[in-house]
Amino acid sequence: MDKIRLGVVFGGRSTEHEVSRVSAAHVIEAADREKYDVVMIGITQEGRWLLYEGPTDALRDGSWQAKAEADLAADPAHFGISVIGNAGRQLKDMIDFALPILHGMNGEDGSVQGLFQLMDIPYGGSGITGSAAAMDKIIAKKIFEAEGIPQTPYIDFLSCDIGPDIIARINRELKYPIFIKPVNMGSSIGITKVHKPEELLPAIRFAAKFDNRLLAEQGVDCREIEVAVMGNDRPRAWQLGEIIVGAEFYDYEDKYVSGVSYPEIPAKISDHMREKILRMAEKAYAALDCAGFSRVDFMIDRKTDAVYLNEINTIPGFTPISMFPMLMQNAGVSYSTIVDMIVEYGMERAKQQDARQSARV
């Protein structure tokens, strides 16, 4: 059989550009070269799409871009990529399957998924609906509410609402500590844990730098549980682990820089609790129309053992300290097999969409 030209797309214009590069390097190194011809496609922080042909270590330190730009200048016929009318080869003629390893806005929110769909390129992970719904914390919460999936109390509001009224409402309806979050961000960017009323307004103003839509969530003294889920119409939750948090909370610094937190896989919980959370993860995944793969995050109240859904990450990290690949590997699924499964689920979804489109014509 001919190899699949696997286009791994990394970088992007989000604040998680660097994490995306590191994740992509590990995915590329794990891809079975007997099955795939890997095509590395980087998106710069300015939004340029560049074909990169070189060592994966250059993705980690960011030096890939200089080489890609030099190669493009020297041989535009080969290295040029046509995306939405740009000069160069059509992306569809360069790859058979797109695997977006793009974290955050413009990569995990349905934007690039819609682009691939318009270009008729099969791709890995959730589609437009699942990606957009999971990225938007408010929309996701409304859906989870409708499905009866437990969540902590919250208030959503706009940046134009910032003032005495919203401060008073948060203080009236929620208990401290309170998490203030921008709605459409990942990797805990823009989030502040607020312990007392005088910290509330600065935290809200900080979150408003990242998004117009904001969220105040009641904090819980909890254990943080993360679940790896894969599949399309009948998803399977594979394994769950616990983040033993070393910082104030599991923020960007702790996730990717200091690393004082550490995972415990599998989590040390009862069999009953384990099954309950696995089934909740599958239900939440299906409720948002997720596909391919995701990481579903939960909280267990230390005092009451109540379980709350936190969020779904449709393109979880693939760095050496990322939970999703560690959870899958603990369940007996190798890194290369994870890539195979993502491709298989993406191809399956594309075939179903093609069949439906043919039936409409």
Identify whether 107 is part of a domain: yes
CATH of the domain at 180: 3.30.1490.20
pLDDT band, residue 187 (cuts 50/70/90): low
Q: How far apart are CA 116 and CA 126, in angstroms?
A: 12
Claim to verify: residue 228 and residue 305 sit in the same structural domain? yes
Domain that holds residue 186: 154-218
From 203, 218, 233, give the residue that closes a domain.
218
CATH of the domain at 310: 3.30.470.20
Sequence-ordered alpha helix ranges (H) in the chain: 17-30, 57-61, 64-74, 76-79, 111-118, 128-135, 137-146, 164-173, 200-208, 252-256, 271-287, 323-330, 335-360
Instruction: Find tokens 């969530």 and name the residue.
Output: 217
Identify whether 354 is part of a domain: no
Q: For residue 83, report the phi and psi dihedrals to the nearest 5 degrees.
A: -125, 115
Claim to verify: residue 138 and residue 111 sit in the same structural domain? no
Q: How far apart are CA 44 and CA 57, in angstroms?
A: 17
Claim to verify: residue 93 and residue 197 sit in the same structural domain? no
Claim to verify: residue 116 and residue 261 sit in the same structural domain? no
Identify whether 349 is part of a domain: no
Q: How far apart are CA 73 and CA 180, in angstroms?
A: 45
Average pLDDT over the chain reads 91
Query: How does pLDDT run across 143-161, given as a tens digit for each residue?
Result: 999 999 999 999 999 999 9
From 218, 243, 265, give the residue that closes a domain.
218
Handedness of CA 16, 18, 22, 27 (dihedral sign): positive
Q: How confident is the model over 264-287, as a mean pLDDT?
A: 96
Identify whether 346 is part of a domain: no
Identify whether 353 is part of a domain: no
Claim to verify: residue 204 and residue 241 sit in the same structural domain? no
Cα angle at 348 between 344 and 354, to 5 degrees?
145
Q: Is the pLDDT of residue 250 over 50?
A: no
Query: How does pLDDT run across 97-125, given as a tens digit for each residue?
Result: 999 999 888 889 999 999 999 999 999 99
Claim to verify: residue 8 and residue 27 sit in the same structural domain? yes
Query: How does pLDDT run across 206-220, given as a tens digit for each residue?
Result: 999 988 999 999 999
Q: pLDDT over 90 for what percent of the chain? A: 81
Claim to verify: residue 254 and residue 165 sit in the same structural domain? no
Claim to verify: residue 35 and residue 84 sit in the same structural domain? yes
Domains in the chain: how many in total? Answer: 3
Cα angle at 286 between 281 and 290, to 5 degrees?
100
Predicted local distance difference test score (pLDDT) of residue 354: 81
Q: Is the separation of the CB atoms in 133 and 140 below 8 Å?
A: yes
Question: What is the enclosing helix (H) or strand (E) of 228?
Answer: strand 222-231
Query: How does pLDDT run across 46-97, given as a tens digit for each residue?
Result: 999 999 999 999 999 999 999 999 999 999 989 988 886 655 678 999 999 9
Identify whether 311 is part of a domain: yes
Identify whether 26 is part of a domain: yes
Query: How does pLDDT run across 230-248, given as a tens digit for each residue?
Result: 999 999 999 999 999 765 6
Claim to verify: residue 295 and residue 322 sit in the same structural domain? yes
Claim to verify: residue 226 and residue 272 sit in the same structural domain? yes
Predicted local distance difference test score (pLDDT) of residue 145: 95
Claim to verify: residue 244 and residue 331 sit in the same structural domain? yes
Q: How far apart are CA 8 and CA 42, in angstroms?
A: 8
Identify whether 347 is part of a domain: no
Claim to verify: residue 310 and residue 186 sit in the same structural domain? no
Which of 312, 339, 108, 304 shows the shortest CA–CA distance to 229? 312
